[in-house]
Structure 1
């Protein structure tokens, strides 16, 4: 039997989340608004800590409701990787007092 009454409650479930690009995550999923748009907040257990990701619903392939125990077990094997060095530009060499202003190619309009 289908109930047509509008009693929709905000999403707050333990789920396995499958994203485009063959990415799987698991944890607590809640609906949130970020910059005026709807996102899913995914809190992923990581030992005694949590990793939070905000996911666009457009990137989701599948949501599978599950228990907290199963979500934690899946999360152990599907942890987000931290930012890798290759994703960041190389840091500029530190300037010393001996070389400040003597190399001739410093642009005073740049903030650093």
Structure 2
């Protein structure tokens, strides 16, 4: 539409769709400007969809994973209780040993 070379047109399309917009090649005609607007919207939409897809990939709300996580947290809590009981028993044994040593 702007009577530019194919390489210039390809460069302009790439720069516009990636929303960089260097401004070295700009549309002058009304039809060229409308194409530019359409291409900009497509570029923004594509980048938005890509960002959304990547976010969805890394942040999955998987119910099975949540169930596993809940089970692991329950197991961790029970292990902590066992450790606390063992620690209390060890403290009691240490006191008994100290009392025996004092008697000797």
TM over 0.5: same fold?
no
Structure with more of its chain in helix, by fraction: 2
Larger Rg: 2
TM, length-normalised to structure 1: 0.28
Q: If each structure's strand is expressed as a fraction of its own residues, which one has the higher value?
A: 1
